[in-house]
Amino acid sequence: MGYQEEYVRAGRSLKRALKRSSLRRPLRAVKRRADELALVFASRQDRRHALSGPRQAWRVKRDYQISFLRDAGLQPQHRLLDLGCGTLRGGIPIINVLDDGHYWGVNAREQALTAARAELVDAGLEHKRPRLIHGSDFDLLHLGVKFDVIWAFSVLPHLDDAVLGGALRCVKEHLANDGRFFATVHLGSSKGGGSWDEFPDLRRPLDFYEKEAARADLEVLDLGALSELKHPPNVVNAFHHMLEMRAA
């Protein structure tokens, strides 16, 4: 066995030992504290986008979202609804591409929308007149507009079953006849998972989404793993997939 194999084996043994060790909880606390301290010295944008996910990955996530949507045929004249728009981590380049007033973003946390408005000012895109809406109950969202594209990046895995059902009904109400809904999901054989911030982080099987979509008169197509759809592989896992839904 070469030294590289020995190094890998030793690392795995240490990882297993730490899982069993009483040091595991203190080490997690140290990591959380280190992350908090790093955030103090982070850039303004890093601090903002930490509200939407890992602060180290926001640029990658931003670049990927606009790249995917352009490859999917996004045009300036399209109207786009961004469900869970957060801090406009992905929204800024989308707003820049679309015609004035054609971007709508909805988010459950006002704190994230406050950061989004600051991001919009810094990007010099206020003249694009995007609509940023605070709302946590999708069943109460009636915008009176039909959208060519509805987008939910890193959103559906963080919705419990009841909220997800409302989100899909909202999509059905607002999707144009030939419109498309793109959403990232965590596919898995069970609903088990952890949490992110105050939200759940759920893996669900594809047939779960198919059944929920059917209840909202939507059809589902699994486009594949994000790593197979040009997403940089170092910040996604094999269970991260992109779904496309259309009116049934």
| Class of the CATH domain delimited by 57-247 | alpha beta
| Integer Cα distance of 80 and 83 in angstroms | 10
Q: Where are the domains of the chain?
A: 3-41, 57-247
One-letter amino acid at 139 equals D
The model's pLDDT over 66-99, given as tens digits with 9 standing for 90+, comes to: 999 999 999 999 999 999 999 999 999 999 999 9
- The residue behind tokens 């486009």 is 223
Phi-psi group of 169: left, alpha or beta (phi > 0 → left; psi -120 to 50 → alpha; rest → beta): alpha
Beta strands in the chain (DSSP E): 80-83, 103-107, 131-134, 147-152, 175-186, 193-196, 199-202, 218-225, 240-247
The string of pLDDT tens digits covering residues 165-211 is 999 999 999 999 999 999 999 999 765 566 656 677 899 999 999 99
Percentage of the chain surpassing pLDDT 90? 66
- Most distant CA pair in the chain, distance: 66
pTM above 0.85, yes or no: no
